[in-house]
Structure 1
Amino acid sequence: MDAAGRAGFAARGLIYVLVGVIAVQIAFGGDGGGQQADRGGALGELAGQPFGSAMLWIVGVALAGMALWRLSEAVFGGYGPDGSKLSRRAAALFRSVFYCFVSYSVLSYAAGDRGSGSGSSDRHTDDVTARVLDWPGGQWLLGIAGAAVVIAGGWISVRAVRRKFRDKLRISAMSARVRPVVEGLGVTGGTARGVVFAAAGVFALVAAVRHQPGKAKGMDDTLRAFRDLPAGPWLLALVALGLAAFGVFSWCNARWRKL
């Protein structure tokens, strides 16, 4: 099970690094090579590389390993004294379901279904938001969901800044030179990831308040929104490098995570 979890972290890291690279290109006036700065864009970028098809299969299987490892945490409990708490088990189950979906979309894309996994996160977000707003009380539900995402983003960033990830890493196994690099990647990457989450939550709140599905944004449009701010290209580049740093930090988890 350890191998499955570590493979999943490696695959997650690759996706975040590719998203970061695409976002950096977008920051300075490019179109990201025609790719979206989201998971679908990352898969498209990977597919275009030598042995891209094989890499897609490897990533999909590795993400399935992540889902299986998270499921084992939900069933048997995770690492540490609080690993068997109900809240930890519930969070692990949610992550398992999420990675099952991601793995399925990647494997479907690898099998030739180019409409799976590579779809625009922005279009998907618009569709989901429109459906929710059509429900009775949908405006309130979307607003609550948006607020929850904002809070989650802030929580992710704060935990990163406070280096809470250290508890889950085998710090003693790192050399004195490697340790500060890994911690720097964790702080930078986790903070950037939290900022993107929070920004997406704000757009969902705006969509709820204005009852306009188009105001909600997926990952690609959320990142592009940073470019439209004062000093936007540099701000987007900073966030993009942070996402890439989170990808590299995921690779560090593949090596030193306590599983």
Structure 2
Amino acid sequence: MMDTSTLTRGSRAGRRKAAPTIEGAARAGLTARGVIYLLVGMLALQIAFGGSGKQADQGGALQEVAGKPFGAVVLWALGVGLTGMALWRLSEAVFGAAGPDGRKGKKRLASAARAVFYGFVAYSVLSFAAGSGGSGSSDGKSRDVTAEAMDLPAGQWLVGVAGVVILCAGVWMVVQAARRTYRKHLRLGGTSHRVRRTIDVTGVAGGVARGLVFAVAGGFAVRAAWDYEADKAKGMDDTLRSFTETPVGPWLLVFIAVGLMLFGVFSFAMARWRRV
């Protein structure tokens, strides 16, 4: 019977063999993520200042890209990049992530969940690039998925639990960004103070904004489950628009929109300096 140390050595050997491919996939995926968040933030900013004709979500971002010169090429590049992100996370689940605790079961499970998430996103983007309209309104998808889930046995509880998970994930993102835990994943030796300062500004502000969006979306899912009304679940577009209904008016959405754009820039920095 193979012991744990043999499995660990095999895992490390497998990771070393696949390292160049994994690194390229990771950096392509982080770059693609950055482009999408940058575009979503720009669309949200337009909504905050009265330009509400476009969706501030992944679908809206892809439509924005599609309307530009060489848009089709960029769409395929984004899809391939996000596929790389999914493969990178899958490799972490199989071989373990970089760092001293990267092979712990909790880390592997988190990487597996991210691989599934980015695999779904990549499929959606590639479907859109292929012309099948695979990345439509996030609001409509959220309502449809919520309605289908509620029709299942104990569906109301399933939606409620999913909402709590998303809400907690958002809070966790906020806390992690505020604590600057991303620093342990970066190789910043030899970089200037200005670069480090820029990474901190984009990492903290961007991570907090992203976390708030997730937390609020999770809260809407919990409310939909509580009231047993699928229409109360919201995708990213409706979630972002809800920030304009606060006492401070559109200014909270301005903050969130700028934060999402900063998270896009932070993703570019991660693509450059992330330890993979």
State the TM-score, normalized to the length of structure 1. 0.96
1:70-119 Cα offsets, whole Å, 9 max, x none, are 11111110000110011111111111122222112211211221x212x1
1:174-233 Cα offsets, whole Å, 9 max, x none, are 211110111110000000011001100111111111111011100000000001111221
Distance (whole Å) between structure 1 residues aligned to residue 33 and residue 90 of structure 2: 17
Distance (whole Å) between structure 2 residues aligned to residue 46 and residue 143 of structure 1: 35
1:149-190 Cα offsets, whole Å, 9 max, x none, are 111111110110010111111122421111011111000000
Counterpart in the other structure of 2:131 = 112
Q: Does 1:71 align with 2:83?
A: no
Counterpart in the other structure of 1:93 = 112
Deviation at 1:35, TM superposition (A): 2.2
Contact 1:40 1:120 in 2 (8 A): yes
Distance (whole Å) between structure 1 residues aligned to residue 114 and residue 144 of structure 2: 23
Deviation at 1:68, TM superposition (A): 1.2
Q: Secondary structure at the match of 1:171?
A: coil
Q: Secondary structure at the match of 2:254?
A: helix
Counterpart in the other structure of 1:3 = 24
Counterpart in the other structure of 2:101 = 82
Counterpart in the other structure of 2:15 = none
Counterpart in the other structure of 1:26 = 47
Q: Which amino acid aligns with 2:193?
A: A
Q: Secondary structure at the match of 1:217?
A: coil
Counterpart in the other structure of 2:76 = 57
Distance (whole Å) between structure 2 residues aligned to residue 173 and residue 103 of structure 1: 34
Q: Secondary structure at the match of 1:172?
A: coil
Q: How does 1:215-254 map to 2 (within 5 A)?
A: 215-254=232-271
Contact 1:173 1:256 in 2 (8 A): no
Distance (whole Å) between structure 2 residues aligned to residue 100 and residue 213 of structure 1: 25
Unaligned runs of 5+ in 2: 1-21
Q: Does 1:168 align with 2:185?
A: yes
Q: Once superposed, which parts of structure 1, at least 4 consecutive aligned residues long, lie more than 6 Å away?
A: none
* Bigger-Rg structure (1/2): 2
Distance (whole Å) between structure 2 residues aligned to residue 108 and residue 144 of structure 1: 29
Q: Which amino acid aligns with 2:134?
A: S
2:221 counterpart (204, 216, 225): 204
1:47-70 Cα offsets, whole Å, 9 max, x none, are 111110110111111111111111
Unaligned runs of 5+ in 1: none
Q: Note closer, same or farther for the CA distance 1:106–1:226 as it changes in structure 2 (3 Å cut).
A: same
Q: Secondary structure at the match of 2:250?
A: helix
Q: Which amino acid aligns with 1:47?
A: A
| RMSD after superposition | 1.0
Q: How does 1:174-185 map to 2 (within 5 A)?
A: 174-185=191-202
